[in-house]
A and B are shown apart, each in its own frame.
Chain A
Amino acid sequence: MRRRIGIDVGGTNTDAVLLEEGGWGSSDAGPPRSEDRVVAAVKTPTTADVTTGITRALADLVRQAPPARHATAVMIGTTHFTNAVVQRRDLDRVAAIRIGLPSGASLPPFVDWPEDLARLVRGEVVMLEGGHEFDGRPLVPFDATGMREATRRIRAAGITSVAIASVFSPLNASCEEEAAAILREECPGVAVTLSHRLGRIGLLERENATLLNACLIALARKTTRAFTEALRASGIAAPLYLTQNDGTVMLAEVAETYPVYSFASGPTNSMRGAAFLSKRETVDRHGRSRSVDALVIDVGGTTTDIGSLRHGFPREANNVVEIGGVRTLFRMPDLLSLGLGGGTLAARDPLTIGPTSVGYRLTEQALVFGGDVLTVTDVAVAAGLVDLGDRARVAALPASLVEHALARIRKMIEEGVDRMKTDASDAPLIAVGGGSFLVPPRLAGVSEVINVPHQAVANAVGAAIAQVSGEVDQIFQDLGRDEAIARARRLAEDKAVEAGADRATLNVVEVEDLPLAYLPGNSLRTRVRVVGEIAR
Chain B
Amino acid sequence: MRPVAADEIESLAIGAWILGTGGGGSPYLALLNMRQLYRKGTVCQLMDASELDDDDLVAVVSNMGAPLVGQERLTDPKTMALAVTMMEEYLGRKFRAVMSLEIGGGNSIQPFMAAAMLDLPVVDADCMGRAFPEAQMTSFAIHDLRMYPLTLADVRDNAVVVARAASWKWMERISRKACVEVGSIASTCKAPRTGKEVKDCAILGSTTKAIGIGRAVQAARRAHRDPIDAVLAQERGVKLFTGKVHDIARRTTEGFLRGTATIEGLDTFRGHRFSLAFQNEWAVGWLDGEPRVMTPDLICVLDTVAGEAIGTETLRYGQRVTVIALPAPPVLLTPKGLEHVGPRAFGYDLDFRSVFG
A residues with a Cβ closer than 8 A to B are: 100, 102-107, 111-112, 133-135, 137, 139-140, 167-168, 201-204, 318-319, 418-424, 475, 514-520, 522-523, 525
Contacts and interface: CB of A to CB of B under 8 A. Distances in A.
Contact of A517 (B29, B180, B246, B252): B252
Interface stretch (B2-10, B69-77, B284-292, B348-356): B69-77
A100 B73 contact: yes
B250 interface: yes
A419 B78 CA distance: 43
B314 A319 contact: yes
Contacts, number: 112
B251 interface: yes
B335 interface: no
B244 interface: yes
Interface stretch (B60-68, B84-92, B188-196, B293-301): B60-68
A520 B72 CA distance: 17
Given A111-B36, A519-B66, A421 B72 contact: no
B219 interface: no
Interface centre among B155, B156, B251 (most CB of A within 10 A): B155
7 contacts: A104-B74, A107-B76, A201-B68, A418-B244, A475-B68, A515-B251, A517-B252
Given A107-B36, A140-B156, A134 B318 contact: no
A519 B184 contact: yes
Interface size class on chain B is: 35 or more
B344 to A, nearest CB: 22
A517 B184 CA distance: 11
Interface in B42-71: 65-69, 71
A520 B180 contact: yes
Interface string B175-207: 000001001100000000000000000000000
B110 to A, nearest CB: 13
Given A134-B66, A519-B66, 9 more contacts: A107-B32, A139-B156, A201-B71, A204-B74, A419-B318, A420-B318, A422-B318, A517-B313, A519-B68
Contacts of A520: 180, 184, 255
A518 B184 contact: yes
Interface centre among A102, A318, A422 (most CB of B within 10 A): A102
Contacts of B255: 517-520
Contacts of B246: 424
B250 A515 contact: yes
B72 A202 contact: yes
A268 to B, nearest CB: 20
Interface in B1-55: 29, 32-33, 36
Interface centre among B36, B65, B255 (most CB of A within 10 A): B255
Contacts of B33: 106-107
A418 B71 contact: no
A102 B155 contact: yes
Contacts of B77: 106
